[in-house]
Chain A
Amino acid sequence: NAGVTQTPKFQVLKTGQSMTLQCAQDMNHEYMSWYRQDPGMGLRLIHYSVGAGITDQGEVPNGYNVSRSTTEDFPLRLLSAAPSQTSVYFCASSTRGDLGQPQHFGDGTRLSIL
C-alpha cells in the first residue's frame, strides 16, 4: 500500500550542487505536483503535471526543473542549489476530473543547502 513515495527523506547539499528528488505513485493518478513548505508560508506550488509528457509551472518554479515521462514518476531537479532552496519538499498526486478527490502526499524531503 505504497501511495506516494518520496526519496530521499533527508539531504544536505552544498551551494551549486545539483540533485534530483524522486517521487513515485502507484495509484495511476494523472495529476502530480511538487510543493515546498517554509515556516509561515504554507505550501507553495513549484511545478505540476496533468499527465505524462505535460508539465507546467506553479507559483515558485525558478531554480527547479521537472519532467513526466511516465504516469508513475515525477522527479524534481535542483539545477544549482542555493541556500534559499533550503526547505521541506512534498510531492502529491490526485486524479483529474473529480473535484472531490483529495491530493495524496508523500512524507516529504527535508533539504538543507549549505
Chain B
Amino acid sequence: AQKITQTQPGMFVQEKEAVTLDCTYDTSDPSYGLFWYKQPSSGEMIFLIYQGSYDQQNATEGRYSLNFQKARKSANLVISASQLGDSAMYFCAMREWTGNQFYFGTGTSLTVIP
C-alpha cells in the first residue's frame, strides 16, 4: 500500500487565487511528521512546511498552510495568493517515528496562470 498518495498529477490556478494540493497518507504509527517540498524547474528540492501528528493547530508558513485532518489521514497544502513563481512540482512526504525513512508521493505539478 502506498504510504503517501497525491491524486492530482497537474493543477492550474489563476495568479492571486488560492489553491489546494491534496495529500493522503497511510500509517499505523501514532507518531509521525508530514512535510511538503517544492521542486521548481531548476530541480532543487525546497522544504516548505511541516506538521507533526500531535500538533493541535494547522501549520502555517507565510502563504503556505497545511490543512491537517488526522481522522481522514489527509495533509493538504494550501497556497494563498498564488504567484507565477509558485509554478513547480510539489511533493508531500511523511516520516514515521519508527523506521526513520521518508516516504514521498508522486507529486503534483502546479501551473500558475497570469
Mark A residues whose CB is within 8 Å of B: 31, 33, 35, 40-45, 48, 50, 58, 88, 90, 92, 94, 96, 99-100, 102-105, 107-108
- B77 → A minimal CB distance (Å): 14
For B34, give the chain A residue with the smallest CB separation.
A99
Q: Are B91 and A108 in contact (CB under 8 A)?
A: no
Contact of B91 among A42, A45, A107 (CB under 8 A): A42
Interface status of B25 (Cβ within 8 A of chain A): no
- A32 → B minimal CB distance (Å): 11
Chain B contacts for A35, CB-based, 8 A: 104
Q: Are A105 and B44 in contact (CB under 8 A)?
A: yes
Q: Are A99 and B44 in contact (CB under 8 A)?
A: no
- B49 → A minimal CB distance (Å): 9
Q: How does the 8 Å CB contact mask read for B29-72 relative to A, with 1 for contact and 0 for none?
A: 00111010100000111010010100000000000000000000
Q: Are A42 and B104 in contact (CB under 8 A)?
A: yes
Q: How far is the CA of A49 from the CA of B107 in the complex (A)?
A: 24
Q: Are A99 and B32 in contact (CB under 8 A)?
A: yes
Q: What 3 A-B pairs have minimum CB-CB distances, sorted nearest first?
A: A99-B33, A42-B106, A105-B45
**What 17 additional pairs, Cβ within 8 angstroms, besides A45-B103, A103-B45?**
A33-B102, A35-B104, A40-B9, A42-B91, A43-B91, A48-B100, A50-B100, A58-B101, A88-B43, A92-B45, A99-B32, A99-B95, A100-B50, A102-B37, A103-B93, A107-B44, A108-B44
- B66 → A minimal CB distance (Å): 13
Contact of A48 among B35, B101, B104, B106 (CB under 8 A): B101
Q: How far is the CA of A88 from the CA of B89 in the complex (A)?
A: 15
> Can you name 5 A-B residue pairings with CB atoms under 8 Å?
A45-B101, A48-B101, A90-B45, A100-B33, A103-B47
Contact A107-B47, Cβ < 8 Å, known A42-B104, A43-B104, A50-B100: no
Q: How far is the CA of A58 from the CA of B37 in the complex (A)?
A: 20
Interface status of B97 (Cβ within 8 A of chain A): yes
Q: Are A42 and B105 in contact (CB under 8 A)?
A: yes
- A30 → B minimal CB distance (Å): 9
